[in-house]
Amino acid sequence: KKLVIKVMDIVGQKESGHLKFTLDSGKNLWPAIFWNSSDRVKEFAAGDRVNVIFRIENNFFRNKVTPQLVIQDMERV
């Protein structure tokens, strides 16, 4: 699925950090996490169009459940 990166942050420990995104599908903004991918941070930037392989999971945070995309792989287009 082609999406646009609106926001990108690194979360977690430096040596095993994760990339956290807000991705725009045109109709919706989706929170997304790319586990153990902080070493790929220079590959992406806000505004990039990307192809994403993902699954949808529930994110449980502070007693709130929200859907989020769990990225399996991603590339700029």
6: left (phi over 0), alpha (psi -120 to 50) or beta: alpha
pTM, to two decimals: 0.87
Q: What is the pLDDT along the chain (77 residues), one digit of tens a residue?
A: 689 999 999 998 766 799 999 999 999 999 999 999 999 999 999 999 999 999 999 999 899 999 999 999 999 99
